[in-house]
Structure formats: C-alpha cells, structure tokens
Amino acid sequence: MADLTKNAGKPGTLILGIDPGTVATGFGLIERRGSQLLTIGWGAWKPGQKLSRGEKLLHLAESLDDCMKKFRPALVAIEQAFMGRNIQSALRLGEARGAMLTVCARHEVPVQEYATATVKKVVAGNGRASKEQIQFMTQRLLKLKKTPEPEDAADALALALTLALDF
C-alpha cells in the first residue's frame, strides 16, 4: 500500500477514483471529513471513437490533468490491472492505466490500486457482487439521490469510497 498517511489525516481530504478504459474512463470525486463522506462529482471521459489509440490516451491524460488542476485531490484510487480472457482488452486497459498513473505521478498524488474483488467486498460486502449491487451500495453509502451513471463513473466512485474507508 502506498504511504497515504501524510494526506489522509487532513480535514476535507479529496479522493479521486478512476476506472480506466480507452472507450470510457470513469471518475468519481469524494471528500472525507472525519467519518463523513461527501460526493463532489462523477462522470466519464470518452475520447472519440475515430481517434487513434495515441490520441485517445492523450485525451484521457489531458482530461485527468484538467481534473487534477481543478480539484487538487490528495489521493487517487485506481482499478488494478487484471488479466482477462481477451489479451487485446487487457492491453488497452493497461495503456489507459499507464496514462492515468503518469498524470498522477506528474501531480505527485499518491495512488492506491485495488483489485475489483476488493472494491466489491468493501462496498457491497461480497467480492463477487454484481455491477448493480455495487451501484446500489455506492448510492446508499454516499447518500446519493440517484444511481451514479454511467457504470464507469459508479465504479470510480466505488474505488474512491474503498480508499476513503481504507484509512
């Protein structure tokens, strides 16, 4: 685990969750004030389908860079790489993660990586929870009036929530 202690104890700690992908990268920003969690916002960065792979990664990196400059999160939670059946999908995910990690390093923001099963266990109490269960529990735990959408954004909020509950 990254050393998060220097940023964790500050009042109003901003945590950015990132669910990387080249089609859509979800983001979710929450603020932890003691035991209270406040949702700042969420969404997804979607590079155009007609862009080259490099242009998509640049778009994602620039979007994250803008977010980092605007909100100045103290901590970032990102989905850990996993090896799926489709090697090409895993490669694309790795490229998106690399772009995101590079931006975080440039801003000197500590990053904590979480396996999908860990996020599911923390948020829903079950490491095999469905997407719908994660969305429901994220909405409930963050006291949101509506289900966070798109799915990528809900996953990013769940990542940020996992980190917030981890320290």
| E strands, the chain, in order | 13-19, 25-33, 36-45, 75-79, 111-114
Q: How much is the pTM?
A: 0.92
Question: Based on the structure, what is the number of domains in the chain?
Answer: 1
Residue 161 has pLDDT above 50, yes or no: yes
Q: What is the pLDDT of residues 115-141, one digit of tens each?
A: 999 999 999 999 999 989 999 999 999
Q: Which residues form the catalytic set?
A: 19, 79, 152
Q: Are 117 and 128 in contact (CB under 8 A)?
A: yes
Structural domain for 14, as ranges: 5-166
CA distances to 20, 33, 36, 103, 104 from 66, rounded to whole Å, are 16, 24, 26, 10, 11
The pLDDT value given to residue 86:
83
Helix, strand, or coil (residue 20): coil
Please give the backbone phi and psi of residue 149, each rounded to the nearest 5 degrees, phi first. Answer: -135, 155
DSSP conformational letter for 48: -
**Average pLDDT over all residues of the chain:** 91
Higher per-residue pLDDT: 154 or 10? 154
CATH code, 84: 3.30.420.10
